């Protein structure tokens, strides 16, 4: 399936452009074995003319046949190329960006390529229950790898200390996997948390 790049997309979002749209599909909790619970997920990546994508993922627990049982969770955040913020960029808060974007051409974006031939990215994601994640990683063509740099937890949040996520575009479908560490035992590492297979619906 060809990737359509919106004409009003700021140049630095072109590497992320294949994510833009709405995706739906099913997944499994945990390692995805026979006893793992099923869920349905709707994901959207939206741009508004600024140099980031707005992300939202809403999930529902389902029966084996796909029947929705109850809401599971919602997460929301922002995806962007990782680079130094310039005077032309907006923020913090309501400080407006310049009308002309900080990176104005494909050549300026290409200069951000890393030694591996991809682009460094940052992703911030907020969850219910007082948890927020800051990921750093790489996008290289239709593949994304993310690792938490920081997990912020509220005073009454459940244990959650680290995570990795991978995303890939395969035959026009979005596949992802999420591994987490919930702390607790000393030296406890990352364990499978969930994975899904999503189709683009718009």
pLDDT at 7: 62
pLDDT at 187: 44
Q: Is residue 60 within 8 Å of 37, Cβ to Cβ? A: no
Nearest to 159 by CA among 136, 184, 128: 184
pLDDT at 31: 87
pLDDT at 182: 85
* pTM reported for the whole predicted model: 0.93
Q: Which residues of 2-29 are buried (b: 16+ CB within 10 A; e: fewer)?
A: eeeeeeebbbbbbbbbbbbeebbbebbb
Q: Do the annotations mark residue 199 as ligand-binding?
A: no
Q: Is residue 152 within 8 Å of 170, Cβ to Cβ? A: no
The domain 11-200 is placed in CATH, from the list 2.40.128.20, 2.60.40.3880, 3.30.2010.20, 3.50.50.60, at 2.40.128.20
pLDDT at 184: 56
Q: Do the annotations mark residue 84 as ligand-binding?
A: no
* Tens digit of each residue's pLDDT, the chain (202 residues): 556 656 678 999 999 999 999 999 999 999 888 889 999 999 999 999 899 999 999 999 999 999 999 999 999 999 999 999 999 999 999 999 999 999 999 999 999 999 999 999 999 999 999 999 999 999 999 999 999 999 999 999 999 999 999 999 999 999 999 999 987 554 468 999 999 999 999 8
**What are the structural domain ranges in the chain?**
11-200
User: Per-residue DSSP letters for 16-43?
Assistant: GGGG-EEEEEEEEETT--TTPPEEEEEE
Residues 162, 101: Cα–Cα separation, whole Å: 33
pLDDT at 186: 43
Q: Six-digit token pair at 129?
A: 């229950």
Can you tell me whether residue 6 is helix, strand or coil? coil
């Amino acid at each position: 399936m060809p990737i359509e790049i919106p004409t009003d997309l700021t140049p630095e979002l072109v590497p992320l452009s294949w994510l833009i749209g709405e995706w739906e599909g099913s997944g499994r909790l945990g390692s995805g074995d026979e006893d793992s619970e099923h869920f349905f997920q709707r994901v959207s990546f939206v741009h508004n003319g600024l140099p980031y994508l707005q992300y939202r993922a809403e999930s529902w627990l389902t029966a084996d046949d796909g029947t929705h049982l109850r809401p599971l969770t919602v997460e929301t955040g922002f995806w962007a190329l990782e680079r130094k913020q310039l005077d032309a960029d907006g923020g913090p808060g309501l400080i407006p960006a310049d009308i002309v974007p900080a990176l104005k051409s494909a050549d300026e974006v290409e200069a951000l390529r890393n030694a591996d031939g991809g682009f460094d990215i940052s992703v911030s994601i907020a969850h219910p229950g007082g948890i927020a994640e800051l990921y750093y990683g790489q996008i290289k063509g239709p593949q994304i790898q993310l690792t938490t740099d920081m997990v912020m937890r509220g005073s009454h949040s459940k244990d959650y200390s680290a995570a990795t996520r991978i995303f890939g575009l395969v035959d026009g479908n979005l596949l992802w996997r999420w591994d987490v560490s919930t702390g607790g035992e000393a030296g406890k590492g990352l364990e499978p948390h969930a994975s899904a297979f999503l189709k683009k619906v718009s």
